[in-house]
Structure 1
Amino acid sequence: MTETCQLMEQLPAIIDYPNGISVIDARYHRPGRAAIHLITEGDKAALVDTGTRFSVPGTMAALAHKQITPEQIDYIFLTHIHLDHAGGASEFMKWLPNARLVVHPRGASHMANPIKLIAGVMAVYGESEFRRIYGEIHPIAAERIIEAPDNTLVELNGRPLRLLDTPGHARHHYCIHDARSKSIFTGDTFGVSYREFDMDGLEFVFPTTSPVQFDPEAAHASIDRLMALHPEQAFLTHYGRIRNLSYHASQMHALIDAFVSIVQQAAEIQDRQPIITKALQDLLLERLAAHRCTLTRDAALSLLQTDIKLNAQGLEIWLEQTIRQSTQAAGSS
């Protein structure tokens, strides 16, 4: 009885879908912000993204609840190595003895030796805040890491999962096409969609342009590549399943262009960060109103504020890189 109560205390929200797909809440900052996806095929399973090391106890409880043993997990897929997606990888690898880590070639070395990855994030947050959010991150043995270049096919107990290089949000990003379920697991390539914004079965989706590798042209191309597969549903790390993908692809393209226009209009302003942030806030609130969102302004901003801040930072970094490249090109001509 006591063990059952303890398990329930640890158990995160779980949503089960057909074809052995489940959404497990990673408990990152708040419920419904980040998901770990479970794919089950027969007596084998895989995880897509890991949350942070603080996501591990709840996810292990979810596996036990579903009667999946640690030994049955064959793969951990990291769509990319941003720490809300990959921060729990080293801890999971300790608990899942047969799992191999499948990661983009640009991210593999950072999983085997995370010193630079940790230092980069600490430079943003500071050490104490880093520890609070992400905890400890350890090296993963190179022999347990599978590098996945474009079009890599991984079979989960005979179920083909195809990994497609999809830059735009990050250069170390892939998405997973699961033909069995006509699904794509998109990490951050297909944007962010919180379930609190769903209205009458229609989701609200917007791009994530967080630092430091946003590339609008690549982002557009990656969305088009995914849609060419004619998926019926997408599983987003932020958060869970969305449908209506043709509509959302069109909205994503329009919003990427709108985001770029906002930052370009602020190019001549010295202290541009507050201007970009306010413009992104106004744009998303305007789109939510058109979406007929019933949340109050304060409730909506509570859900959006972290994404708006990160998007503004990423857009400004992209702008500065673009200006620098233009200056260098002009100087060499």
Structure 2
Amino acid sequence: MSQPVDLGNDMTLIDLFDLGMPERTGSYIIHSEELTIVETSASPSVPYLLEGLKDLGVDPKDVKHIIVTHIHLDHAGGAGLFLEHCPNAKVYVHPKGKRHLADPTKLIAGARAVYGDQFDELFDPIVPVPEDRLVAKEDGDTLDIGDRVLTFYDSPGHAKHHFSIYDSLSNGIFTGDTIGVYYPQAEGLNFVLPSTSPNQFDPDAMLNSLKKIENLNVDQIYFGHYGRSRDPKHVYEQIRFWLPRFVEVGEQVFKEKSEASFEEKTVAVTEGLSHIVTTHLVEQNVPSNHKVYKYLNLDLEVCAMGIVDFLTKKQKV
């Protein structure tokens, strides 16, 4: 268990140890008049969230708003379980995700298809959120929580059920996975890669969402994975650099292995992504045995699945 991190502007980051790994996912606690939490991670992370709140002297009964950027289980899977500890809170979700939090049957089936036998260990239990405690926020909607106003922006690309939340007090934005994953393990690099996981990855939509966020001229970005960047310009540059290269790796595999199975293509794309990312990091003096690769290897395999899924669908159009 690590100590909550003070981010200034009455905001704290609690490490939720997704997959048992530090600095993998986190919850942002906004200490406003109306206590607000952004992201819950998966259900196995809820004990870390409760312990972090205890360290901060926060009673879950005082939580008023729980916001999930999107409904992927590593961001929202624990929302229902956590809500059981927060009798006075409502859960805020993208309109396209609302029904899936109320009835997570399809979410569970989709995750089982991706994670197989690991599902229970990673995500169980997934507790439905009562419909009367769910609030959908449309593009441009706001939520006044006292000393600041939160504004919700539809931001597809990683998923169609994704919004990003602008915070007026810190001039920052919670971006979930829309403009990538931040790797604090790569110390000093401010290193970000796109998150292209299945099954709604759309590179054009991702770049459009990036542009929408860029136009807000924020000072800081709060990532779902993991932590804060105070150099938004560098984040945008990295996504624009890596995203077409990720897709190019997939296109090359489809060209060379057109008759291969989905699984075989995924293996090949994973290898291709790993090669270009490792080569880049070694050039930046990050050795190939560095701890960051433990995180990258997990993410790049899921990214590869999303790229293969995207290109397979594209072929059928």
Q: What aligned pairs does 1:1-333 form with structure 2 within 5 A after superposition?
A: 11-29=1-19, 30-42=21-33, 44-126=34-116, 128-199=117-188, 202-268=189-255, 269=257, 270-271=259-260, 272-293=265-286, 295-297=287-289, 299-325=291-317
CA distance in 2, matches of 1:273, 1:115: 26
SS, match of residue 41 in structure 1: coil
Q: Aligned partners of 1:212 and 1:13: how far apart in 2?
A: 35
Which runs of 5 or more residues in structure 1 are unaligned?
Answer: 1-10, 326-333
Distance 1:154 1:274, change over 3 A: same
RMSD (Å) for aligned C-alpha atoms: 1.4
1:67-114 CA distance string (max 9 Å, x none): 211122111101000000011000111000111000001100001111
Verify the 8 A CA contact 2:282 2:288 in the aligned structure 1.
no
| Alpha-carbon distance change, 67 to 13 in structure 1, aligned in 2, over 3 angstroms | closer
Q: 1-side partners of 2:109 and 2:288: how far apart?
A: 38
The one-letter code sitting in structure 2 at the alignment partner of 1:80 is H
Specify the code of the residue in structure 2 equivalent to 1:147: A
> How many residues in Structure 1 have an aligned counterpart in Structure 2?
310
- Cα separation, 1, equivalents of 2:282 and 2:173: 28
Q: What is the identity, as a one-letter code, of the residue corresponding to 1:307?
A: D
How far did 1:273 drift?
2.3
Conserved in 2, the CA contact under 8 Å of 1:12 and 1:27?
no
Aligned sequence identity (%): 34
Q: Aligned partners of 2:46, 2:162: CA distance in 1, in Å?
A: 22
Alignment-mate amino acid for residue 103 of structure 2: N
Task: Provide the C-alpha distance between the structure 2 equivalents of 1:243 and 1:310, rounded to a whole number of angstroms.
Answer: 27
**What SS does the corresponding residue of 1:124 show, helix, strand or coil?**
helix
The answer on whether the counterparts of 1:48 and 1:77 sit within 8 Å (CA) in structure 2 is yes
Deviations 1:264-310 (A, max 9, x none): 122231332232111100111122234333x4436343221111100
The 2-side partners of 1:176 and 1:292 are apart by 35
User: How far apart are the structure 1 equivalents of 2:2 and 2:49?
Assistant: 7
1:107-152 CA distance string (max 9 Å, x none): 00001111111122122223x5211111111221111000111111
With structure 2 as the length reference, what TM-score do the two structures score? 0.94
In the superposition, the TM-score normalised over structure 1's length comes to 0.89
List structure 1 runs of 4+ shifted beyond 4 angstroms: none
- Matched position secondary structure for 1:304: helix
Could you tell me whether the CA contact under 8 Å between 1:169 and 1:189 is conserved in 2?
A: yes
1:308 counterpart letter in structure 2? L
Instruction: Say if 1:178 and 1:298 are closer, same or farther in 2 by CA, change over 3 A.
Output: closer
> What secondary structure does 1:231 align onto?
coil
Give the whole-Å Cα distance in 1 for the aligned partners of 2:273 and 2:300.
Answer: 7
Equivalent residues of 2:185, 2:291 under 8 A apart: no
Aligned-partner Cα distance in 2 for 1:227–1:143 = 35
| Distance of 1:146 and 1:204 partners within structure 2 | 34
Q: CA deviation at 1:158?
A: 4.7
Whole-Å separation in 1 of the counterparts to 2:290 and 2:173: 32
Give the whole-Å Cα distance in 2 for the aligned partners of 1:53 and 1:275: 32
Report the equivalent of 1:6: none
